[in-house]
Amino acid sequence: MDEPDPLDPINPTDPMGDTDPMAPMNEPEPMQPATPQAVDTSTMSIVEIASGNPAFDTLVQAVQAANLAGTLSGDGPFTVFAPTNDAFAQLPAGAVEALLMPENRDLLQRLLKYHVVAGEVMSNQLSTGKVETLDGGLAVRVTSDRVIINDASVTQPDIQASNGVIHVVSRVLMPRELRNEIVARLAS
């Protein structure tokens, strides 16, 4: 009997290749309630919460590079749709590094402000439609088990902060115009 080809994408003995490449992609994961924390995050600012969670290292680095840490540590209240390191890793190669450069601070500020809503909006207050951020509108779709913001899933909602609330999202949110500007700057 022939040995199975380890590079075959549907090789049943390969745990990484157990899905048919032609099968439709799975729906985004349903929202999970905020994980109970050992620390009461309601006494911490949005920036303090993000700084204390390694999953937000890239976001914290971006907030600092954009000079927005002071704002997001202020009274607020704010609602932040917070992309994780994995979400930033989905951007094109070199995009994060380019955005963190001082000469691209204007683009980085716009990108981050697109993730921030003035006021505190809990997940159960979101409804299908649009929500205005500090830099444009986000499309919101609410189903019985998930909230989709643009093309990103809210993976962990309602992390309470002293100055607002954080909703963790699976992708970096970006309006088309800003995406085009970033691509143009990366190409130059």
Q: What CA–CA distance (Å, rounded) separates 142 from 140?
A: 7
The reported pLDDT for the residue numbered 119 is 97
Q: Does the residue 14 lie in any domain?
A: no
Residues 178-183, mean pLDDT to the nearest whole number: 86
Q: Does the residue 128 lie in any domain?
A: yes
Q: Does the residue 29 lie in any domain?
A: no
**pLDDT over threshold 70, residue 33:** no
Residue 136, strand partner residues: 133
**pLDDT over threshold 80, residue 36:** no
The reported pLDDT for the residue numbered 14 is 33
Q: Does the residue 56 lie in any domain?
A: yes
Q: How confident is the model at residue 15 (pLDDT cuts 50, 70, 90)?
A: very low
Report the range out of 21-25, 40-44, 98-102 with the highest average pLDDT.
98-102
Please tell me the pTM assigned to this model.
0.79
Choose between 7 and 154: higher pLDDT: 154
The reported pLDDT for the residue numbered 66 is 97
Write the CATH number for 72: 2.30.180.10
Q: Does the residue 1 lie in any domain?
A: no
CB 115 within 8 A of CB 81: yes
The reported pLDDT for the residue numbered 84 is 97
Residues 77-100, mean pLDDT to the nearest whole number: 94
Residue 161, domain extent? 37-187
The reported pLDDT for the residue numbered 168 is 98
The number of domains in the chain is 1
List the one residue out of 183, 177, 162, 176 whose CA is nearest residue 77.
162
Q: Does the residue 101 lie in any domain?
A: yes
Q: What CA–CA distance (Å, rounded) separates 123 from 177?
A: 27
The reported pLDDT for the residue numbered 7 is 33
**pLDDT over threshold 80, residue 8:** no
The reported pLDDT for the residue numbered 39 is 64
The reported pLDDT for the residue numbered 38 is 53
The reported pLDDT for the residue numbered 109 is 96
Token pair listed for 136: 């444009």
Q: Does the residue 27 lie in any domain?
A: no
Q: What CA–CA distance (Å, rounded) separates 112 from 133?
A: 10
pLDDT tens digit string along 109-127? Answer: 999 999 999 999 999 999 9
Residues 141-164, mean pLDDT to the nearest whole number: 95
The reported pLDDT for the residue numbered 93 is 85
List the one residue out of 178, 179, 162, 150 whose CA is nearest residue 83.
150
Q: Does the residue 19 lie in any domain?
A: no
